[in-house]
Amino acid sequence: MTPQLIDARHVRNYRVWLKFSDGTEGEIDLGNELYGEVFEPLKDLNQFRQLQIHPELRTLAWPGGADFAPEFLYEKLHPSKSFKTTANSS
C-alpha cells in the first residue's frame, strides 16, 4: 500500500520537504523533474511555490493541474524503501 502524503512545504528553489503517513520525511529536489508541457510553468518559482497536497489524491499538486505520483515522491525521498513486503525465507 502506498503511504499517503500528509505534509509538504516549499524549502527553497525546487526543493520541497515531504512527510508521509508512515513517518518517512525529508527534502527532495524536483528541479530535474520539471519537463513536459504540464510541468514547464513550474520552472517559474512563483508558480512552483504554490504547491499543495491534493485533497483526494494525497500527493503534491499545483493549481495548473501538474502533480507527481505519490509513489514517485516516496521513492525519490527514500529509495531504499519499497511498497512491497517480502516474506523471509528460512
Amino acid letter for position 51? L
Q: Decide if 3 contacts 21 (C-beta within 8 A).
A: yes
Handedness of CA 11, 68, 64, 33 (dihedral sign): positive
pTM: 0.82
Domain ranges of the chain: 5-77
Tens of pLDDT, residue by residue over 18-61, are 999 999 999 999 999 999 999 999 999 999 999 999 999 899 99
CATH classification number, 5-77, choose in 3.40.1190.20, 3.40.50.620, 3.40.50.300, 3.30.2020.10:
3.30.2020.10
